[in-house]
Amino acid sequence: MIILITGISSGFGEAMARRLTADGHTVYGTCRRTVEPIPGVRYIKAEVTSDEDCRNAVEKVLEEQGRIDVFINNAGMGIGGPLEFSSLEQAQRQMDVNWMGMVRFLHYVIPAMRSQKSGKIICVSSIGGLMGLPFQGLYSASKFAIEGYCEALRLELKSHGIKVVVIEPGDFSTSFTASRDSVCSPEVSAAYPAWDRSLKSIEKDETGGLKPVVLADKISKIVRARNPRYHYIISTLEQRLSVFLKAVLPPSWFASILSSYYKL
């Protein structure tokens, strides 16, 4: 299959590119910086916030291969901190990368898949796209947007033979933790003393989380699946349980559970 993945410089993207190439697929991947190349992977330098870069990346694959069988929207970033102290520029950046980056690529990918009358779109969301996480509100908002967009897109593309799958990872040990843009200052800590405690808990969970290869193995199966599920939660049992509780408990009860977990 011809596969295009966004953001393969590290973490999920790198692990997926390695696994899918090893599976025998032709893999193209976008990245913003120069990295140690994975043998067999075809790199495209592109920034997901650039309309031109997104268009050029899709056109390059189509010119060389004539089709795109699987598109995996993976590129993303996170901003942490109390929403009150998050700047408008940070809010715009968060949505521009995580949500609009996906929208930009799909603007060019979907017409190609529709003309093929086939294709598979896999978008990486998060458990944070299923519940609003305290001190990660901007990140959750961007992932909620992915969930809603893909829910509508799935229905629109059904008659064209295109499958839309959303992945909701829990905590994973990747470079995402170190690269998070966090709002930190004495003023923030004074106004929200729970923020410092929560950040330590968040980082501990992430650094002790699952390895990216776990997600890559699941993606390998989804790519091969003839009729994949709409959603795949890839996380620890505890985190899958939290998603179940969110669905069945009264909102105030679940809010109490989250408040206790994040030491609010």
Determine the Cα–Cα distance for residues 199 and 205; give it in Å rounded to an integer.
10
pTM score, two decimals? Answer: 0.92
Determine the Cα–Cα distance for residues 155 and 152; give it in Å rounded to an integer.
5
Q: Are 160 and 116 in contact (CB under 8 A)?
A: no
pLDDT of residue 195: 81
Element (H, E) at 110: helix 101-116
Number of structural domains in the chain: 1
Task: List pLDDT tens digits, range 6-31.
Answer: 999 988 999 999 999 999 999 999 99
pLDDT of residue 176: 62
Q: Residues near 26 by Cβ (< 8 Å), separated by ≥ 6?
A: 1, 2, 3, 42, 65
- Token pair, residue 163, equals 């499958």
pLDDT of residue 192: 86
Q: Residues near 159 by Cβ (< 8 Å), separated by ≥ 6?
A: none
pLDDT of residue 33: 84
pLDDT of residue 260: 86
pLDDT of residue 29: 97
Tabulate helix, strand, coil % of the chain (nearest 5).
Answer: 55, 15, 30
From start to end of the chain, where are the E strands? 2-5, 26-31, 42-45, 70-73, 79-80, 119-124, 162-169, 181-182, 231-234
Catalytic residue list: 9, 125, 139, 143
Task: List pLDDT tens digits, range 128-141.
Answer: 999 999 999 999 99
Determine the Cα–Cα distance for residues 198 and 181; give it in Å rounded to an integer.
15
> Which domain CATH number covers 170?
3.40.50.720
User: First vs last Cα of the chain: how many Å apart?
Assistant: 47
pLDDT of residue 189: 80
pLDDT of residue 230: 96
Give the DSSP letter of residue 100: I
pLDDT of residue 178: 58
Determine the Cα–Cα distance for residues 191 and 193; give it in Å rounded to an integer.
6
Write out the residue range of the structural domain in which residue 114 sits: 2-261
pLDDT-flagged residues of the chain (< 70)? 174-180, 184, 205-206
